[in-house]
Amino acid sequence: MKKFILAKICILFFLSAAFSQDTLFFENFDSVAVNTLPPNWTATAAGFSVDSTNSSSGYAGSSGLKNLLIKNLAATGVYYVETPSFSTININNITLSYGVRHTTNFPLSGSTANILDYSVDNGITWTPLTFIQNPSNSAWALINNSLVIQLPSDASDQASLKIRWGANIINNPQGSYRIDDVIVKGNDTTTHTIAGFLSGKNLYPNPFESFIKIDGFESNQSLNVTLTNNIGATVFQKFGVQNNSTLLLPDNLAKGIYFITVNSKNQTFTKKILK
């Protein structure tokens, strides 16, 4: 009986490792100034921008406060907004989720917001994603009937993955479309990183440009963060960091491989990241 129980525990541990996901990309827009975009996001001029009215609510993980908005007030045409590129090297089973508020009067003029694409070549070509759009009821809810959107297998193991949303606007003084709490997750295929995923520690985006976000550590602990390059030289260090912090990094860091190490009171966590 003991052998059976032990075998069952081992199987459950394996399954939990197989299905545990790490956050590859996250944005809730709360730290972004109104009428701007998050760092390294791009959008069609006079289209999407961060707004502080009608805070997200009513679904698990809703952050409230600010969100990304496009109104029918934009001139007639198709408007896009896209994320920075991030890495899925050694990652598979890529999933996407986000919250949506689709007003009752947004589609009355004929406007639609059914464009959702991904790119694995830094935005040169785009492939549509299949999903179920939220109803136009002016209520916040997770996209796709609250089910994660599964990206195709070619999104895995890529140096550059990007997501974009598009809205076809017909100019009208009424209506808006909002998104919030964008989360991309995946399963790591390396033993070292899976161990980190199971402990719930997240350091992102990856690749990074000018900042790194830290999440998943105990909120009452002071963290020491060290960033080293691929030859072991320390290029950034900060002490007394709190969980759920955003670290601004030096502007002169070259493109390449880095290792970020977070020391807490009880453990040390290291992750390979790219710029």
Q: What total of structural domains would you count in the chain?
A: 2
Average per-residue pLDDT for the chain: 85
Residue 206 belongs to what domain range?
Answer: 199-274
**In this structure, is residue 193 part of a structural domain?**
no
Tell me, yes or no, whether 39 and 128 share the same domain: yes
Please report, for residues 17, 60, 196, 197, 251, the alpha-carbon distance to residue 20 in angstroms, rounded to integers and kept in the order given.
Answer: 5, 19, 10, 7, 33
Q: Does 32 share its domain with 141? A: yes
Instruction: For the chain, give percent helix, strand, coil, nearest 5.
Output: 15, 40, 45
Whole-prediction pTM? 0.69
pLDDT of 191 higher than 70: no
5 within some domain:
no
Residues 106 and 58 placed together within one structural domain of the fold:
yes
Amino acid occupying residue 79: Y
- Based on the domain organization, do 106 and 38 belong to the same domain? yes
pLDDT digits (tens, 9 = 90+) for 85-143: 888 887 889 999 999 999 999 999 899 999 999 999 999 999 999 999 999 999 999 99
Residues 211 and 75 in one domain: no
> What's the pLDDT tens digit per position in 164-176?
999 999 999 899 9
Q: Which of 163, 187, 211 is at the close of a domain? A: 187
On whether both 71 and 34 belong to a single domain, the answer is: yes
Closest CA to 98 of 188, 27, 21: 27
Has residue 24 been placed in a domain? yes
State how far the Cα of 197 lies from the Cα of 199, in Å rounded to an integer.
Answer: 5
Task: Please write down the long-range contacts of 239-248, taking CB distance under 8 Å and 24 or more positions apart.
Answer: 241/214, 243/214, 243/215, 243/216, 243/217, 243/218, 243/219, 244/213, 244/214, 244/215, 244/219, 245/213, 245/214, 246/31, 246/211, 246/212, 246/213, 246/214, 247/211, 247/212, 247/213, 247/214, 248/210, 248/211
Same domain, 180 and 252: no
Indicate whether 164 belongs to any domain: yes
Same domain, 94 and 121: yes
